[in-house]
Amino acid sequence: MARTLLYLVRHGEQDLTLGESTSGGLSALGRSQAERLGRRLKGVRFSTIHHSPLPRAAQTAEVIADYLPDVPRHACDLAMDRTPVPSAGRRSEYPSRLLPWLDSVPAEERDEDGRCLQAAVEHLGAAGPEDRRELVITHNFVIGWFVRHALDAPTWRWAGLNQANCGLTIVQWDTDRLPTLVCFNDIGHL
């Protein structure tokens, strides 16, 4: 039986001195968080480091990669910051209290019915012929979607699953088994 372990990490704290821009990098605290997580993950035998192309995730990956020098890393669109929003025909599946907030999500962040996020789960979470461990440095809602999937929770349940900056979540896939949530938002290293 082959096993895939996905280590899902929210990027370090973003530097907000320039405002709420999505192009911001890490704050000093964010760098420290990434350093601590890097020390914790040192020695884990990862196949790959995937990271969102946004600066805060790319910089987090860069810091962590210093502790994992032999692990290849790359910007991965599957790890991009996305907000799953219901299509017109699926709005009734979401609690009405969430709809005004979801309606305000900027067009560039919208992922209708979580299609892109589901593609990320199917690609990154697939158990292959060999065991593998992969590190994915991404964003809060992406991790929430993976956790929701692993728990077979309602589609909207990703909302409210809040991940700390540089918190660690691990999801396991085994051949011929449903995914298992190994840990959620572990911050013992921080």
Q: How many Cβ atoms are within 10 Å of 177's Cβ, its own excluded?
A: 11
Span 166-184, pLDDT tens digits:
999 999 999 888 999 999 9
Could you tell me how far CA 86 lies from the centroid of its own chain?
20
Report the distance separating Cα 28 and Cα 92, nearest Å.
42
Contact 14, 30 (CB under 8 A): yes
In a domain, 27, yes or no: yes
Q: Give domain status of residue 93, yes or no.
A: no
Helices (H), the chain: 28-41, 55-65, 99-103, 115-124, 140-150
Region label for 162, one of left (φ > 0), alpha (ψ between -120 and 50) or beta (otherwise): beta
Does residue 114 sit within a domain?
no
**Other C-beta atoms lying within 10 Å of the C-beta of residue 71:** 18
- Asked if pLDDT for residue 65 goes beyond 90, the answer is yes
Domain range for 181: 3-82+123-186
Number of structural domains found in the chain: 1
Residue 23: phi and psi, rounded to 5, are -95, 5
Is the whole model's pTM more than 0.75, yes or no?
A: yes
Tell me if 128 is assigned to some domain. yes
Which of these ranges, 1-5, 45-49, 84-88, 113-117, has the smallest mean pLDDT? 1-5
In a domain? residue 95: no
In contact, 134 and 5? CB cutoff 8 Å: yes
* Separation CA 58–CA 183 (nearest Å): 23
Does position 2 have pLDDT exceeding 90, yes or no?
no
Q: Give the pLDDT score at 23.
A: 67
Residue type, 151: L
Question: Distance (Å, rounded) from C-alpha 87 to C-alpha 89?
Answer: 5
Domain of 28: which CATH number?
Answer: 3.40.50.1240
- Does residue 160 lie within any of the structural domains? yes
Q: Which of 73, 66, 11 minimizes the C-alpha distance to 47?
A: 73
Q: Does 162 fall in a domain?
A: yes
pLDDT in tens, 15-32: 877 655 556 789 999 999
Residue 173 placed within a domain? yes
Write down the pLDDT at residue 21: 56
Inter-residue contact 136 to 71 (CB < 8 Å): no
